[in-house]
């Protein structure tokens, strides 16, 4: 698996993470993307947009354009919220996995050092 390009997140298949720093960085970037989508992707609270859609509905407009635009905006907002939530979840999981990897590797190294120190010197 790779996030693409040089310096991306590299794994060795099912055996683990080679670069937890890159994985953590990928998680942070995913969380930033989630924040951007959340901030800029939700058009349902845009008064100007809603005013334009409203003027194409009801008594002012005989066609279905206003209703269709409203349905489109609602679908857009729903999908933008879902995308932001998914990016945030991915980011959190990447960061957690990177942290768990570092913690586990540190514990393993400490345990191996303890075992090594308890063995007779073979040099």
Cβ neighbours for 50, distance < 8 A, ≥ 6 positions apart: 44, 73
Any domain includes 35: yes
Any domain includes 71: yes
Query: How many structural domains compose the chain?
Result: 1
> How many helical (H) and strand (E) elements, i.e. helices and strands, does the chain have?
3, 0
Question: In this structure, which long-range contacts are made by residues 67-73, counting pairs with CB atoms below 8 Å and at least 24 apart in sequence?
Answer: 73/43, 73/44, 73/49
Any domain includes 77: yes
The predicted structure's pLDDT at residue 4: 47
Structure confidence at residue 64 as a pLDDT band (50, 70, 90): confident
Any domain includes 9: no
Question: In this structure, which long-range contacts are made by residues 19-23, counting pairs with CB atoms below 8 Å and at least 24 apart in sequence?
Answer: 20/97, 20/98, 20/99, 20/101, 20/102, 21/98, 23/94, 23/95, 23/97, 23/98, 23/101
Structure confidence at residue 53 as a pLDDT band (50, 70, 90): confident
Structure confidence at residue 63 as a pLDDT band (50, 70, 90): confident
Tell me the C-alpha distance between 64 and 37, whole Å: 29
Any domain includes 49: yes
Any domain includes 116: no
Any domain includes 70: yes
Secondary structure element (H or E) that encloses residue 75, with its range = helix 65-118
- Say how many Å lie between the first and final Cα of the chain, rounded: 41
DSSP-derived secondary structure for 90-117: HHHHHHHHHHHHHHHHHHHHHHHHHHHH
Domain of residue 47 covers: 19-96
Any domain includes 104: no
Tell me the C-alpha distance between 30 and 90, whole Å: 7
More confident residue, 53 or 32: 32
């Amino acid at each position: 698996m790779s996030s693409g390009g040089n310096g991306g997140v590299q794994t060795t298949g099912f055996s683990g993470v080679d670069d937890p720093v890159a994985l953590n960085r990928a998680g942070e970037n995913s969380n930033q993307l989630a924040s951007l989508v959340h901030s800029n992707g939700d058009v349902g609270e845009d008064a100007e947009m809603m005013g334009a859609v409203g003027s194409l509905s009801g008594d002012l407009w005989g066609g279905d354009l206003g209703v269709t635009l409203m349905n489109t905006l609602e679908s857009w907002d729903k999908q933008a919220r879902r995308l932001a939530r998914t990016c945030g979840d991915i980011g959190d999981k990447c960061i957690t996995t990177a942290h768990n990897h570092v913690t586990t590797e540190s514990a393993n190294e400490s345990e191996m050092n303890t075992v090594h120190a308890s063995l007779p010197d073979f040099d």
